Amino acid sequence: MRKFKNERNDRSRERDRQTERSEPRSPNFDNVIYGVLPVLEALRADSRRVERVAIAEGVRENRFTDIIELCRERSIAWNKIGRERFNVAVPDGANHQGVYAIVASATYSEVDDVLDVSEVPLIVILDGVEDPRNLGAVIRTVECSGADGVIIPERRAVGLNDTVAKSSAGALAHVKVAKATNINRLIDDLKSRNIWVVGTSGEATMSYTDWDWTQPSALILGNEGSGLHRLVAENCDTLVKIPMFGKVDSLNVSVAAGVILFEARRQRAKLN
């Protein structure tokens, strides 16, 4: 009898371990603000930290008129999502009132703050990078190479979430990151400031080592899969490439950033 009881206890403990392994991990709510007034106040007080707003389907939209208007005014993405998806994003039992906002893990800088860091700027612009680990790795590379900062689009790109912060290995605390409403308008602004805009493309004829990085320069790196948007590429002053010698035709965006930024650093060090 004792042996049978021990075997039953062993099987019970094994089931418990299997249950623990199969249960999904609890989501991280550190970057979630929920409830009508908290979301509204976040938009009013520090809207640049608000990444996006979600409203549960089936609730009266007139309750959220002010929130929706603020999102539209400040180019913050908002959408309606199904109840099942909505409930996963907020803590159990939360008085969410049908709305929540995702906020950044760090405060964004203004674009001017990034551009004014040095007299000979060297900045990185990311055209639609969606993987938070890639953004974090780029921020780490920018910090290690001594570049001046990073500018990302307000829409269709990852923002400063917890994964980005962790992937940057602490660099996010030392690098200015700004959001631009429109990358093509930003390019026009950079040109008016006499900052050369250099895009990356595997089809470019110029190697990245042939560009004079001692000049004020903005390096634009594209999406992980599709590269630069067509209009962004057309608006660049020039396009450069990193020659490939293997069978794979491109590098990870953070690796490409490192290769080019340290070439820029080498040229600038040689000049000094």
Q: Which tops the pLDDT comparison, 258 or 42?
A: 258
Q: Which tops the pLDDT comparison, 104 or 19?
A: 104
Q: Cα–Cα distance between 198 and 193 in angstroms, integer?
A: 14
Q: pLDDT tens digit string along 27-57?
A: 456 688 888 888 888 888 765 578 889 999 9
Most confident of 5-9, 33-37, 93-97, 176-180: 176-180
Which of helix, strand or coil describes residue 79? strand
Q: Are 146 and 137 in contact (CB under 8 A)?
A: no
What percent of the chain shows pLDDT beyond 90? Answer: 53
Q: pLDDT tens digit string along 194-243?
A: 999 999 998 899 999 999 999 999 999 998 778 899 999 999 999 999 99
Q: Cα–Cα distance between 94 and 80 in angstroms, integer?
A: 18
Q: Cα–Cα distance between 212 and 120 in angstroms, integer?
A: 12
Q: Which tops the pLDDT comparison, 23 or 51?
A: 51
Cα-Cα-Cα-Cα torsion 66, 38, 132, 208, nearest 10 degrees, comes to 60
Q: Are 121 and 195 in contact (CB under 8 A)?
A: yes
Average pLDDT, the chain: 86
Q: pLDDT tens digit string along 81-90?
A: 998 899 888 8
